[in-house]
A and B are shown apart, each in its own frame.
Chain A
Amino acid sequence: QSVLTQPPSVSGAPGQRVTISCTGSTSDIGAGSAVHWYQQLPGTAPKLLIYRNNNRPSGVPDRFSGSRSATSASLAISGLQAEDEADYYCQSYDNSLSAWVFGGGTKLTVL
């Protein structure tokens, strides 16, 4: 069972907007730890998508955006494209466990 909780799956039609939630606790997100998001295309290694809550690395389209609140964070993808179909993971640091932690992952299906 993952420390950070994500929905197992989300879906949307091309052009639509979807959001993926990441729920933590007062030990991680609620303690102020940064949240990062990764995209894992089928059969490939993860790739950094959003860092430190809401920053995009060079080359990541602005269709991807991140936000956070007290003990949770969200990834929003607008203008869905077929190539966005992938697994998405949130990640933070848990101060109680003294460990880097991931969400269980969310599979995005583009209908």
Chain B
Amino acid sequence: QGQLVESGGGVVQPGRSLRLSCAASGFTFSSFGLHWVRQAPGKGLEWVTVVSYDGNDQDYADSVKGRFTVSRDNSKNTLYLQMNSLRPEDTAVYYCASSGVGARDDAFDLWGQGTMVTVSS
């Protein structure tokens, strides 16, 4: 049974940075594409970013492009999200999710429990 566990959330001031981690276990991490999806309090799901199984390809939502960077370390079975220039509207629960090789039609088939990020002065 695969598992994803996020960490690194917390309260941060606007304009500051934060790095999230997502540790994987129970499946062949290096074979799967990985996404970050966020959910603002009381709101719906918003896709944030994707990284391919080998880490060579990434894509970002317009709302975070230029501020967020996704990466992965297949030797450590860990996914990262570096968030810079944080804004209050980035406040959300951040989920990591796996999806096949990260292709457009792959579903998000395994989700972590989420980590809360609050951007506030």
Contacts and interface: CB of A to CB of B under 8 A. Distances in A.
Given A99-B47, A100-B35, A48 B109 contact: yes
A46 B44 contact: no
Given A45-B114, A99-B61, A89 B44 contact: yes
A89 B45 CA distance: 8
Contacts of B37: 46
A100 to B, nearest CB: 4
A105 B40 CA distance: 13
Given A101-B47, A102-B45, A103-B44, A93 B111 contact: no
A95 to B, nearest CB: 8
Interface in B46-77: 46-47, 50, 59, 61-62
B95 interface: yes
Residue among A89, A91, A100, A104 facing the most chain B CB atoms (10 A cut-off) = A100
Contacts of B46: 102
Interface of B: 35, 37, 44-47, 50, 59, 61-62, 95, 104-105, 107-114
25 contacts: A2-B44, A33-B105, A36-B107, A36-B108, A38-B108, A45-B95, A45-B111, A45-B114, A46-B111, A48-B108, A48-B110, A48-B111, A51-B107, A57-B109, A89-B44, A89-B45, A91-B108, A99-B59, A99-B62, A100-B47, A102-B44, A102-B46, A104-B44, A105-B44, A105-B45
